[in-house]
Amino acid sequence: MRVTVIGSGYVGLVAGACLAETGNDVVCADVDAAKVKRLQGNEIPIYEPGLEPMVARNQADGRLVFTTDVGKAVEHGQVVFIAVGTPPGEDGSADLRHVLTVADTIGRHLNEPKVIVTKSTVPVGTAEKVRAAIRAVTSAPFYLASNPEFLKEGAAIDDFMKPDRVVIGVDTPEARDLLAQLYGPFVRTGNPVLFMDIPSAEVTKYAANAMLATRISFMNQIAKLCELVGADVGSVRKGIGTDRRIGPAFLFPGPGYGGSCFPKDVKALIRTAHEIGMDPDLWEAVEAVNQRQKQVMLAKLTAELAPSLAGRRIGVWGLAFKPETDDMRESPAIELIEGILAAGGQVVAHDPKATDTARQVFGDRVQYARDPYEAVAGADALAIVTEWLVYRNPDLDRVKRGLRTPLIVDGRNLFDPPRMAAAGFRYVSLGRRGQ
């Protein structure tokens, strides 16, 4: 099938590569000429396991092409995906300017009936705005669909190639039939393609992310309760996670959720609710809890190194908002590090993949370590922000020798408190006894 993907950011690039992998003839278009040139040379601007060899393989085989000619790319595709960014505005609403600009371009280059698919994360009602923008410049026939993505950074290839489900909103049999054919190779094991109306598909994306964000904020409040009453959040997590009605996923306390999806989508959902006269009190509480949680590690460090962090050297393990990505958007590490620096402290940070990203955020205000042990050398404390595998079983004797004082503030509960105490550490984690 001839497929066009407009936008070669995280979602568009993964979608284009995976659709090419299943034999489709894919053109990815982007107005960023520098990015397109890098992609044509198989240089991937993001870190995502498995993506670089997939792009290289499909370019070499002629199934994947990158271009800056958006109009020509539109003319190529039987199916045209809109996968451009929808950054949050100051009021939290999704900025649809790029989406609607693409819709206008699509309308001006409709050379045959096509299925136009919104792949970007957009609020309910966006598909109708896309329809209107196309209709404003052409009377040619086209079919509309909404196909939200559910990709986890760090596991996006597996999520696309072996999805839990594919959600597709359509209002014509033509769109349904063509997209059923396109997604058929990805659901051969029986996981469903869920066809529904377009508004329901648009809401499904926000509902999924808001639910996951809610579980994270809920568990962070449970961790706080455990600290105050002397309970252990790990035991509580197991106690509720084994209930089949609840399940174990997203029940780990942490320093707050980040990334490109949860913060933006919760804000956009809140904004949509306000626009239609609905009180989004639950989602506002989820967001408020998360904002407070991002201050927890700084507060614990300050309490342990009282009276202040001035002149203190803090080693930080983890900069990305989660493992297996270099994405630092809304990362808890940003607020932690900015807080340390504002208090007069120094930071030496390590991350397996996000160091270059961090340089764009902090510049030379932070020192960057080549390995985890360099980050702790001469430090007054170690703060663990991201649960990369390389941090899960370190040489604790070497860590202790490197630290000026044997203090670890662990935002991911990676280690067993009795073991850390026996090793001679003051170990501060989340929601455990004696914290």
Whether residue 311 sits in one domain with residue 239: no
- Which of 143, 163, 196 represents a domain boundary (last residue)? 196
Whether residue 139 sits in one domain with residue 93: yes
Q: Which residues are catalytic?
A: 261
What CATH number does the domain containing 220 carry? Answer: 1.10.1040.10
Distances (CA, A) of 295 to 298, 345, 362: 5, 16, 18
Whether residue 279 sits in one domain with residue 301: no
Structure confidence at residue 108 as a pLDDT band (50, 70, 90): very high
DSSP-assigned letters across all residues of 384-417? E-S--GGGTS--HHHHHHH-SS-EEEETT--S-H
In a domain, 434, yes or no: no
Whether residue 328 sits in one domain with residue 231: no
Provide the pLDDT for residue 434.
Answer: 54
279 touches 273 (CB < 8 A): yes
Whether residue 277 sits in one domain with residue 364: no
- Which of 196, 223, 238 represents a domain boundary (last residue)? 196
Whether residue 175 sits in one domain with residue 31: yes
Whether residue 216 sits in one domain with residue 341: no
- Which of 232, 261, 292 represents a domain boundary (last residue)? 292
Whether residue 55 sits in one domain with residue 185: yes
Whether residue 348 sits in one domain with residue 422: yes
308 touches 344 (CB < 8 A): yes
Q: Give the pLDDT confidence of 200-243 residue by residue, as tens digits.
A: 999 999 999 999 999 999 999 999 999 999 999 999 999 999 99
154 touches 323 (CB < 8 A): yes
Q: Give the pLDDT confidence of 285-330 residue by residue, as tens digits.
A: 999 999 999 999 999 999 999 999 999 999 999 999 999 999 999 9
Whether residue 181 sits in one domain with residue 33: yes
Task: Return the number of other C-beta atoms located less than 10 Å from residue 278's C-beta.
Answer: 10
In a domain, 201, yes or no: no
Whether residue 174 sits in one domain with residue 55: yes
In eight-state DSSP terms, residue 172 is S
Question: Can you tell me the distance from the alpha carbon of 379 to that of 305, in angstroms, rounded to the nearest whole number?
Answer: 12
Q: Give the pLDDT confidence of 114-170 residue by residue, as tens digits.
A: 999 999 888 899 999 999 999 999 999 999 999 999 999 999 999 999 999 999 999
Whether residue 260 sits in one domain with residue 129: no
What CATH number does the domain containing 98 carry? Answer: 3.40.50.720
Q: By residue range, what is the domain housing residue 40? A: 2-196
273, pLDDT greater than 80:
yes
The tally of domains found in the chain comes to 3
Provide the pLDDT for residue 237.
Answer: 96
In a domain, 433, yes or no: no
Distances (CA, A) of 156 to 9, 119, 242, 290, 402: 13, 15, 27, 24, 36
Is 363 buried (19+), middle (13-18) or exposed (0-12) by CB count in 10 A?
exposed
In a domain, 53, yes or no: yes
In a domain, 435, yes or no: no
